Amino acid sequence: MQQTKKLEKFMAPSNTGQQQIELVKASQCLNELEHFTVDADFTGIDAVEKDLQFVFKARHDIQTQAQDVLENGLHHLNPAQIGTAL
């Protein structure tokens, strides 16, 4: 659950211009969560199921944002954005 809270923090909208940094941190956190949940069955544990729903949505959002950053980086030939997205 602590990892989920950390992920929520990184997924929060940021107007500080550090969106790419937060995207990387959110991706790393998501990877850690996946490591913990890959072989576990949390069926029937309401608190965990709710968090897993958030994680599923976050995964989709992170992949979408990364794809947008990659496309923008390729369009503008920006190696920093390309590297961040990958």
Give the pLDDT band of residue 24 (cuts 50, 70, 90): confident
| Total domains in the fold of the chain | 1
Run of H or E including 4: helix 2-11
- Summarize pLDDT for 42-73 with one digit per residue, the tens: 888 888 888 888 888 889 988 998 999 999 99
Domain residue limits at 79: 2-85
Q: Are 80 and 73 in contact (CB under 8 A)?
A: yes
pLDDT above 60: residue 14: no
Q: Are 85 and 67 in contact (CB under 8 A)?
A: yes
Distance from C-alpha of 82 to C-alpha of 21, rounded to nearest angstrom:
13
Contacts of 45 (CB under 8 A, 6+ apart): none
